Amino acid sequence: MSSVRFASLLLSAIWIGGLAILGGVAAPTVFAVLQSHDPVAGRTLAGELFGAMLWKFQQILWATGALQCLLLGVRAALGPRPRRVKLQLLVLIGMLAASSYSAIVITPQIDAIRSSSTTTIASLADTDPVKREFGMLHGASNGLLALAFAGALTLFWFDSRE
């Protein structure tokens, strides 16, 4: 059973490490490098590039989340039953819901704003309603991914204490 718990820890580490690297390293680097070449168009291209990277990683998160649910069920059925198994399942469902809502609901809205705008979002005034809506959606997406990150840390903590 320790191998199943180890697999659960590993899957939580994928969530934690992947989101930390994407948010803390990849996004700032992509934006900095591309904006240094062209402040407006570079920012737009960086957004598209990072969006594509995030979409690929979202798919990995969904697979690891589903596998974590399965492993939690296996551990509960075969014993010893993980402590707070219902809470862990609720956290997993919350992580998957946050990740899914960000990718399936918010990202298409962000893409629609980008494609319907006659200019780049970065070139709009900060008071422009389109830029403000874009910023709110972007903030909501970041918040949901931060929530999923916190959930993964919680699961890792639960599993490491077993």
Would you list the domain boundaries of the chain?
2-160
Are 156 and 18 within 8 A, CB to CB? no
For 29-65, write each residue's pLDDT tens digit.
Answer: 999 999 999 988 898 899 999 999 999 999 999 999 9
Q: Which two tokens stand for residue 110?
A: 């962000």
Band (pLDDT 50/70/90 cuts) for residue 127 is very high
Q: How many CA atoms lie within 13 A of 56 on its CB side?
A: 7
